[in-house]
């Protein structure tokens, strides 16, 4: 996860330094910038362009933004960039003295609320959370969907479902019970309905696109993309091949749960960009780890000579899929075109109401 942090005053720079030392961000790539013109120490890069132009560039190249300064500056800066609650990156504001941490965009799906709470706890600050389900300590359907790797097919349904929860009413969820981790531990806000339901329910969780008799349809992301690329390939080139394979495999972009490759490709810009574009994780494995995966894979002596394993895309896809259970299957074998190799594995999926 790549995060850009920008400050505007001397106090803001001091708070940014504190943010840089937080353990909750230690596993993330955090880049610091400032608009403080008297930044004589040169500790952080000075942003000479307008904050609006800088923000537009950041929105397409990072996974989260943190403004250290006034909320109004952040709101005006991000306004032209806001598109959709399911795709906008999380944005957080911290006052220059580090007393308050305020998520202002993508609190649930993007994870801004969770990130803000973690930052506040370490800064000894107060997290200012304003989303209704959080402050009322109620079940949040969009957080539930995110943590269980479920794609929200119709975002307008979130409001209807959340309104019922906030009104103290139970919501009905239709799901095949074999996919529920613990049937004895269902939240009080929820009543499980038959699957498939004979009447309209509030929520349905299904991989069957013909079953949509619900206010909100959640679809499990059950396919893992295994991929290999030649050095220097662009995101556009990778997307072109990937699109062709998805059509051939009858899979949609939103069905993908994760990207997997070999560790020598962990810094490949096209794959990092693909992860950010699809908003799914990117994992890598060593050649030895890939070699330990059992199965019938498309072997290549040339690939083994270069990478240490006879196949990257198929083995990588299965490496992730097997983490979810023994039911993992390679459903689309290696396809190679223009320096890109692609395979898909199907994973088990189970939902946990207390994930």
Say if residue 302 is exposed, middle or buried (CB neighbours under 10 Å; 0-12, 13-18, 19+).
exposed
Which residue range is the domain that position 325 belongs to? 223-346
**25 and 108 in a common domain:** yes
**110 and 155 in a common domain:** no
- Is 351 domain-assigned? no
Residue after which a domain boundary falls, among 163, 190, 220: 220
Q: Report the pLDDT value the prediction gives residue 40, as an integer from 0 to 100.
A: 55
**154 and 124 in a common domain:** no
CA gap 289, 319 in Å, rounded: 8
Q: Domain containing 196 — which CATH number?
A: 3.40.1390.40
> What does the radius of gyration of the chain's CA atoms come to, in whole angstroms?
22
**214 and 117 in a common domain:** no
Say if residue 250 is exposed, middle or buried (CB neighbours under 10 Å; 0-12, 13-18, 19+).
exposed
**319 and 204 in a common domain:** no
Q: Report the pLDDT value the prediction gives residue 120, as an integer from 0 to 100.
A: 95
**200 and 124 in a common domain:** no
- Is 169 domain-assigned? yes
pLDDT tens digits, one per residue of 221-274: 999 999 999 999 999 999 999 999 999 999 999 999 999 999 999 999 999 999
Give, for all 355 residues of the chain, the pLDDT tens digit: 899 999 999 999 999 999 999 999 999 899 999 988 765 555 788 888 999 999 999 998 899 999 999 999 999 999 999 988 888 899 999 999 999 999 999 888 888 999 999 999 999 999 999 888 888 888 889 899 999 999 999 888 899 999 999 999 999 999 999 999 988 888 888 999 999 888 889 999 998 877 778 899 999 999 999 999 999 999 999 999 999 999 999 999 999 999 999 999 999 999 999 999 999 999 999 999 999 999 999 999 999 999 999 999 999 999 999 999 999 999 999 999 999 999 999 999 999 987 6
CA gap 218, 153 in Å, rounded: 6
Q: Domain containing 259 — which CATH number?
A: 3.30.420.180
Tokens 């395979």 correspond to 343
Residue after which a domain boundary falls, among 184, 200, 220: 220
CA gap 307, 312 in Å, rounded: 8
Residue after which a domain boundary falls, among 192, 220, 248: 220
Q: Domain containing 35 — which CATH number?
A: 3.40.50.11220
CA gap 177, 141 in Å, rounded: 18
pTM value is: 0.84
**244 and 125 in a common domain:** no
- Is 352 domain-assigned? no
Number of domains in the chain: 3
- Is 176 domain-assigned? yes
CA gap 355, 352 in Å, rounded: 5
- Is 318 domain-assigned? yes
**213 and 227 in a common domain:** no
Buried residues in 304-334 as b, exposed as e (16+ CB within 10 A): eeebbbbbbbbbbbbbbbbebeeebebbbeb
**234 and 122 in a common domain:** no
**215 and 195 in a common domain:** yes
Pick the closest to residue 262 from 288, 283, 284 (CA basis): 284
- Is 355 domain-assigned? no
**78 and 20 in a common domain:** yes
Q: Report the pLDDT value the prediction gives residue 131, as an integer from 0 to 100.
A: 86
Buried residues in 131-146 as b, exposed as e (16+ CB within 10 A): bebbeeebbbbbbbbb
Q: Report the pLDDT value the prediction gives residue 239, as an integer from 0 to 100.
A: 97
Say if residue 283 is exposed, middle or buried (CB neighbours under 10 Å; 0-12, 13-18, 19+).
middle
- Is 31 domain-assigned? yes
- Is 135 domain-assigned? no
**106 and 95 in a common domain:** yes
């Amino acid at each position: 996860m790549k995060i850009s942090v920008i400050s505007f005053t001397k106090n803001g720079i001091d708070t940014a330094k504190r943010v840089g030392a937080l353990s909750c961000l230690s596993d993330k790539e955090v880049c610091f910038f400032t608009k403080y013109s008297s930044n004589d120490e040169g500790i952080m890069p000075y942003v000479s362009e307008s904050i609006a132009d800088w923000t537009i560039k950041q929105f397409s190249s990072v996974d989260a933004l943190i403004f250290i300064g006034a909320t109004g500056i952040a709101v005006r800066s991000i306004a032209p960039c806001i598109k959709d609650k399911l795709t906008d990156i999380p944005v957080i504001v911290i006052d220059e003295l580090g007393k308050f941490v305020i998520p202002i965009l993508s609190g649930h799906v993007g994870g801004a609320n969770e990130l803000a709470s973690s930052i506040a706890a370490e800064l000894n600050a107060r997290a200012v959370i304003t989303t209704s389900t959080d402050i009322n300590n109620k079940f949040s359907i969009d957080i539930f969907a995110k943590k269980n790797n479920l794609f929200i097919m119709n975002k307008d349904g979130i409001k209807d479902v959340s309104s019922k929860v906030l009104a103290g009413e139970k919501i009905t969820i239709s799901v095949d019970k074999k996919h529920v981790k613990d049937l004895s531990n269902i939240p009080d806000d929820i009543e499980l309905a038959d699957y498939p339901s004979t009447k309209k329910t509030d929520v349905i969780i299904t991989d069957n696109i013909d079953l949509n008799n619900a206010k909100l349809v959640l679809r499990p992301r059950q396919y893992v993309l295994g991929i290999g690329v030649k050095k220097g390939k662009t995101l556009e080139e990778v997307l072109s091949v990937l699109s062709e394979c998805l059509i051939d495999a009858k899979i949609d972009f939103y069905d993908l749960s994760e990207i997997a490759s070999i560790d020598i490709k962990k810094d490949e810009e096209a794959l990092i960009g693909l992860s950010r574009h699809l908003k799914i994780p990117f994992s890598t494995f060593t050649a030895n780890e890939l070699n330990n995966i059992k199965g019938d894979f498309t072997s290549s002596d040339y690939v083994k000579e270069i990478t240490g394993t006879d196949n990257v895309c198929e083995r990588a896809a299965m490496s992730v899929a097997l983490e979810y259970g023994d039911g993992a299957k390679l459903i689309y074998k290696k396809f190679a075109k223009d320096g890109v190799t692609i395979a898909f594995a199907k994973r088990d999926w189970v939902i946990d109401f207390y994930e």
